Amino acid sequence: MSAYVLLEDGTRFDGESVGAPVSTTGEVVFTTGMSGYQESMTDPSFARQLITFTTAHVGNYGVSEQFMESDRIHAGGAIMRAAVDYDDAPAAEQGWLSWLKANGVPGIAGVDTRALVRHIRTAGSMRGGIFTADVPVSEARERIAAEPSMVGRDLAREVTIAKPTIFEGEGDGPRIVALDTGIKRSIIRNFTSRGATLEIYPCTTSAEDLLAADPDGFFLVPGPGDPAALDYIVENIKTLLSTKPVFGICLGHQLLSRAAGLETFKLPFGHRGANHPVKDLRTGRIAITSQNHGFAVAGTPGEIIDTELGAAQLTHVNLYDNTIEGIRLLDVPAGCVQYHPEAGPGPNDSLGLFDEFIALFEASHA
């Protein structure tokens, strides 16, 4: 069956319906990673987004439970140039398209993804939808118009865990409380395999309840949506900061930054991929990083600024566009990075950051 992608500015790209034969709307974004399609689809940060894969072929090695980054598909749909459904690659438990279908998630293949990306690069990420051919364009337009804008949208509430859950560490490392705005299994694994125990709380948990858990530190995790819509979490973080070490990744970085008084803004087309160079301005070291964010923290890389929580250094910079990729608070034990050290998918260059996190949590414990 034919299908099409329609963007809110009226631009249309045709293809074939694959996966579930349904229509859906969301923010149309693109990722330049060349592998890890299953990890991306199950990453909660992609909630309410339709992922355009720039890589030519998707689905080549099937899907497998081990590559799940959460318990379900969070992305709204997959937009691809070519896709296959083979399920007999050595690690495959199911075909990629069968899996999308079984989960009710639509895909569209045969799309000129390059033309689509060039359009988004110029016009910016925007709302759109994947529609089966039987949906008239007029109806498609209406459905896109009904899709809320990503700006101002609180999606953490949609993806957060229902009740507190504990992931025991493989050792006697620190006990860390994570506020779940959309955690990935790679993050959990990176803590537990290093001996840390992770207690995950719904993102709506109050500061009092979090403090009552009395952990060695708090961890702020990635997630979808606009950080500016999450003031209730930001307020909690301010409370936590004065008590225990707080570290964060991605949305967690944006929330911590907002807690320190910095602003966030929406990037024109986001950073999504596995090849972004990030430089630690304190050491000069460059890491190739996994990225997945549509919003960023405003500031001048390298600067040390005064915040409501004391001095803060804007430690990391994205060498593509000079946006902020990491912050360290100098007066309280807190810091964060915008990129994904946990990989899944993407390069493992920054896995060492988890050792640093754990060392800092342990230091506070000692």
Query: What's the min distance (Å) between Cβ of 40 and other proteins?
Result: 9
The packing angle between helices 185-192 and 352-365, to 10°, is: 60
Query: What's the min distance (Å) between Cβ of 318 and other proteins?
Result: 10
Query: What's the min distance (Å) between Cβ of 349 and other proteins?
Result: 8
Q: Do the annotations mark residue 251 as ligand-binding?
A: yes
Residues near other proteins (CB under 8 A) are 13-15, 30, 32-36, 39, 54-57, 60-61, 64, 66-67, 81-82, 84, 86, 88-91, 110-115, 117-118, 121, 269, 273-277, 279, 284-286, 288, 319-320, 343-348
Bridge partners of 273, per DSSP, are: 291
Handedness of CA 174, 180, 293, 313 (dihedral sign): negative
Cis before residue 345, ω within 30 degrees of 0?
yes
Residue (57 or 157) nearer to other proteins, CB = 57
How far is residue 3's CA from residue 320's CA, in Å, rounded to a whole number?
34
How far is residue 163's CA from residue 165's CA, in Å, rounded to a whole number?
6
Residue (60 or 364) nearer to other proteins, CB = 60
Annotation says 203 is catalytic: no
Q: How far is CA 146 from the centre of its chain?
A: 24
Which tokens is 317 given? 């910079």
Annotation says 250 is catalytic: yes
Instruction: Report the residue count for the chain.
Output: 366
Q: Do the annotations mark residue 262 as ligand-binding?
A: no
Query: What's the min distance (Å) between Cβ of 112 and other proteins?
Result: 4
Residue (36 or 248) nearer to other proteins, CB = 36
Select which of 250, 253, 293, 325 is catalytic. Answer: 250
DSSP H or E segment with residue 238? helix 231-241
DSSP at 226: -
Annotation says 342 is catalytic: yes
User: Residues marked as binding for L-glutamine?
Assistant: 45, 223, 225, 251, 254, 292, 294-295
The residues carrying an active-site annotation are 250, 340, 342
